[in-house]
Chain A
Amino acid sequence: MEEHRLPEPDGPWVMRTYAGHSTAKESNELYRKNLAKGQTGLSVAFDLPTQTGYDPDEELSRGEVGKVGVSIAHKGDMHTLLDGIPLDEMNTSMTINATAAWLLALYMTVAEENGVERRSLQGTTQNDIIKEFLSRGTYAFPPEPSMRLIADMIAFTVDEVPSWNPINVCSYHLQEAGATPVQEIAYSLSTAQAVLDRVRARVPEETFPRVFGRMSFFVNAGIRFVEEHAKLRAMGRLWEELGRDRYGVDDERMLRFRYGVQVNSLGLTESQPENNIIRIVLEALAVTMGRDARARALQLPAWNEALGLPRAWDQQWSLRIQQILAYETDLLEYPDIFTGSKVMDGLVDELTAGAREEMQVVAEQGGAVAAVPYMKTQLVESHRERMRRIEGGELRVIGQNVYTEAEPSPLQEGEDGGILRVDPAVEESSIRAVREWRDGRDAAAVDSALEALRATAADPELNIMGPTLEAARSGVTTGEWAGALREVFGEYRAPTGVGDAAAAASDDALRALRDRVDEVSEALGRRIKILVGKPGLDGHSNGAEQIAVRARDAGMDVVYEGIRLTPARIARTAVDEGVHVVGLSILSGSHAELIPAVLAELREAGAEVPVVVGGIIPPADEVALLDAGVARVYTPKDFEVTRIMGDIVSLVAERNGVVAVS
């Protein structure tokens, strides 16, 4: 045996595809097909109502049912979703956070009712609420009770479902929100620390090393794949350090940095989308090429994510990347290929030092929970810096700001335009189904389960999992479970991070824009006022935040209320605030339902303000929105925010009869 070869090649990582849409039945069929294609684990995508704790028939669910994932309203849906899948063998990852305790309870109930031991269940619940406050937006409860639910789950699973990863601390979404590698490391490790500190108080001392060992991470990998690999090594180093120094863990097995990956979606482009497949391959290399920091599980985005929802074929193409890397290349035959590399060691040292410093800042703010507003502001600023560099051409994005001359992409020529469309009838049928479900249950059992749930929620000393399991068994729905907890915990709006974002450095384009804003404002008699709104449950607020900050930097008065607004609230705000223009952002694909709803509410309120829309909006939908009365539609290919602003100013001028001076 030679030192530079492994005696036996390593086994491959768990291969998943983040999948699920429409109903439990359709998603179950999709999962079975994916497994037949060689996928080795499941990754369940839930729709936004399920993620935020609403039933399909609630007002906020409108337009979102079955859109970005599957709708699971009760244990019956979960049974259908998992039908025919061997739960004692399957490794199932669930992207679920605010309602993680609930979905785990549904999963466990299905196992129980199928005679599968809970001890044999393997998988992951994402369960990282801090990054929901920072980036993804599917929170349901305020920070403290949310953290308690996480601690409850960890304390419960460590003994009851010992092979389950109760939390996947996410750096993934931080990068999507614009984090630099240092921020990604520092904020995710600070989050893990905040969670561990809370769990430590809830479990016996001898159990704690196992708790540490069950913590796993969900990491991103961007296109700078050498540095990205170094990032993972740096995280491993800091994680071990944290275990030893802060928590006194010395069992090597418990100190291992375990992580799964979804590679970067932020950098995927709408223009020349076929290039994305190359980006995905390189990013996959970042997390697989070095044995000392190789991912345990991998899921890759599809080439068309900046266009819309991926189809089965698009996801298959990404699965094939994983299979070729694992089975055709020689990647798994060697020990770590970077050991002793001056470059790699140097990068790791650099990132480790930077992350330590930033973790210190977070600690001084009182830890990750208290530092949410600070971290959010930092992310908004980093993202703005990234956009500035793209707009200025400093950061080259092939096909977007350079080499834009291209042939039309044959991938988009099909009738479907190269994306998946969810049948709008799914929402109607889900609404009917959940109502039927409610009618068919033992109402007394449901009431007493919810009563027990409320009582447990009100006493922070108790563990939520017991009554949650009981509720799952009695047929309680997702909306009822979350509703009971909302009653006790209250609702919450996360900081938007935009208020404290520093003013942008002026460049010529921005200065010219400011003059134009001043000029039009002067003619209007007051400053141009814009409402930036996110209707529906979509929590991906990065785009809206960038628009809000840039509008302010351009000299407008900006009303931004954060995410999860009903069309009625948006209309009301537009009227109360007397705005000149309304800008709406939607990335979840629910624009076809929600935008016309906002327009109708505005009309009803008698507000004659122009509405502009930004988001992942396919060309056919763009036409439909313009026909419905939307003034402008912007998609990811419109990456020059300053130019969008100029366009909006012209629109306001035009609608208010201000003579254009340019």
Chain B
Amino acid sequence: MIENRADRDATLALLAEVSPAALGGEPAAHVIGITGPPGAGKSSLLSVLVSEWRARGRTVAVLAVDPSSKRSGGSLLGDRARIEHDPRDDGVVIRSTAAGGRLGGLAAATREAAEALAPAFDAVVIETVGVGQSETDVEDVCDTVAVVVQPASGDVLQFLKAGIMEVPDLLVVTKADLGDVATRSRRDLGQALKAVGSADVPVLAVSSVPPPSGIEELADALERHREGSEVSARRVRARRGAALREFTAEHGERALRELGGRRAAERLLAEQDAGASVTDLLAALEASH
């Protein structure tokens, strides 16, 4: 329904029902972003991570975001294929969406879907392809962002060092079964993080091929981050960021200047109720425009 751009009112009504203000607080779900370059093993990792969560009695919703064809607007949503789960288990829901060519924007639809799912599941995972730019989108929505890389992927290392890439909350090196090369990658990434002053970001090595390894540790690390981070503050900040980004996307930089610039807009948002939804915040911005 949220994907349906023709019936916007129904979507807004649903989102109003699940907004923190309506719920009387932030939903308890842990919203996790899993991102990384194609072929890094995100889906295989998710497959074992989902089983681990289910074994711990957690329910999980996965939103898999795939790239779309620029030419036709169509897309092949194949990621869910590698996430094994019992089709009769209602504790797992997987939904794939296309990143581009959609009737509306990716960020908004995914964020709204995550918001709608958060009251109903213990964990909501947003899986996206890419390193460098798409994480900001993910950050708008997620409590924890984990970047997944395969061993010897130099790009991520360079991006981190050069500051092109936002430092994630967690770095995961897959294919630990490859041995030395995985160990070396893990060490190199640790050093790169130190170099950019983020030595406290955990770097984990995992293997999704049987027997899987490092998965319990990863689940624990995600949980620790969730407990450690100021979730409500982060979500409030994220919603305000999203509202600002959507306002600019909708009305342009010029409209932002007319509001008195970015700073003024941020001040305006800060005055709003902490539980206000992105829609409310956007409305507040539009009202003063």
Contacts and interface: CB of A to CB of B under 8 A. Distances in A.
A binds B: yes
Contacts of A553: 69, 71-72, 74
Interface string A534-550: 00000000000000110
A142 B94 CA distance: 23
Given A526-B3, A553-B72, A557-B74, 10 more contacts: A142-B210, A490-B209, A552-B76, A553-B74, A555-B74, A558-B74, A558-B75, A559-B78, A569-B87, A576-B93
24 contacts: A142-B210, A144-B209, A490-B209, A491-B84, A499-B66, A499-B76, A503-B71, A518-B73, A522-B103, A526-B3, A526-B5, A527-B73, A552-B69, A552-B76, A555-B72, A555-B73, A557-B75, A558-B75, A558-B76, A560-B77, A561-B81, A572-B87, A576-B93, A577-B77
Contacts of A566: 87
Contacts of A641: none
Interface in A483-500: 488-491, 493, 496, 498-499
Interface string A557-581: 1111110001011011100111000
A569 B249 CA distance: 39
Contacts of A559: 77-78, 80, 96
A611 to B, nearest CB: 17
A518 B71 CA distance: 12
A548 B88 CA distance: 26
B103 A527 contact: yes
A564 B207 CA distance: 24
A526 B68 CA distance: 14
B82 interface: yes
A552 B210 contact: no
Interface of B: 3-7, 39, 66, 68-69, 71-78, 80-82, 84, 87-88, 93-98, 101-103, 209-210
Most buried by A among B6, B72, B73, B82: B72
A551 interface: yes
A521 interface: yes
Contacts of B210: 142, 488-490
Which size bracket describes the interface of A in this complex? 35 or more
B76 A578 contact: no
B81 A560 contact: yes
A554 B81 contact: no
Contacts of B93: 576
A146 to B, nearest CB: 12
B68 to A, nearest CB: 8
A556 interface: yes
A572 B96 CA distance: 13
B128 to A, nearest CB: 15
A229 interface: no
B71 A573 contact: no
Nearest to A550: B74
Given A558-B76, A560-B76, A571 B87 contact: yes
A79 interface: no
A525 B7 contact: yes
A142 B73 contact: no
Contacts of A577: 77, 80, 94-96
Contacts of A455: none
B81 A527 contact: no
Contacts of B7: 525
A524 interface: yes
Nearest to B97: A557
A576 B103 contact: no
